[in-house]
Structure 1
Amino acid sequence: MYLSLLDVFLIFLFIVFIAVIWQHFKVREHTLRCVKRQCDQLGVQLLDGAIQGSYWCPTFQKGQFKVVRCYRFYFTSTGSGRYRGEIKMRGMQQISIHFDPHPM
């Protein structure tokens, strides 16, 4: 059995697709750990135990391709209110995190 150039190209695309999905899940899990750590430091509780991806944007930083991802999450400080937060990541590096104003 011989592989054509098209077959090799399709196999390569499949491998790249799997690698991109794998990286996405690694960044998402790392981001969730960052959010949980920051919530613990501020004394607030992360609601739903999850983050939601809102957008991503490809960028080049120092000649390297990076993806800036933005995730939203909900938290509470008193147990009765629901407030929104947002975290931005460039690759595995946290760029910023924002918590909506909330009572302490």
Structure 2
Amino acid sequence: MLTLGNLFVLMLLATGGAWLWHNHGLREKALERVKQHCAKLDLELLDGNVALKRITIARDANGRRRLARVYNFEFTVTGEQRHPGTITQFGAHTVQIELAPYPFEIKPPQPTAEVIEMNQWRQEHNRWRH
């Protein structure tokens, strides 16, 4: 027989399950955003995951207090060192992605190989001598 107490426990379990399912979806969105951010910066996301660090109350851009989820992840530049990062979300909306300082190389522009015929070069340079 289903009593009011049993119904309350059942509803409590269902609510907890729905909350866990919703959090899993938000974690997947955070992971996708981190993957995009790392790809844009030519970084490699390590372990292919984000881990919930904490759930806290934070102020949004309008100054209102909202529930924020902060996830940790690790990335690498060279493949040798791990660097930490965090992503903060208000629901499915990404607030910020922070990366720890990491070394990076400034890539010089690739030289362009342009073939100039000798006759053309002579014509251009002889023109200025007149």
**TM-score if structure 2 supplies the norm length?**
0.70
- Paired residues in the alignment total 101
CA offset digits 1:32-56 (Å, max 9, x no partner): 1010010001110001111121111
3-state SS in 2 of match to 1:80: coil
* Letter of the structure 2 residue corresponding to residue 22 of structure 1: W
1:37-76 mapped onto 2 (5 Å cutoff): 37-58=36-57, 67-76=67-76
- Determine which structure has greater relative contact order: mean sequence separation of CA pairs < 8 Å that are 6+ residues apart, divided by chain length: 1
* Letter of the structure 1 residue corresponding to residue 83 of structure 2: Y
Question: Within 1, Cα distance between the matches of 2:20 and 2:66?
Answer: 15
3-state SS in 2 of match to 1:11: helix
2:92 alignment counterpart:
92
Structure 2 unmatched ranges of 5 or more: 105-130
Question: Within 2, Cα distance between the matches of 1:51 and 1:69?
Answer: 11
When you count strand as a share of all residues, which structure comes out higher?
1
What RMSD, in angstroms, separates the aligned Cα atoms of the two structures? 2.2
**TM-score if structure 1 supplies the norm length?**
0.86
Highest CA radius of gyration, 1 or 2? Answer: 2
1:102 alignment counterpart:
102
Identical positions, percent: 31
CA contact 1:51–1:72 (8 Å) conserved in 2: yes
CA contact 1:73–1:85 (8 Å) conserved in 2: yes
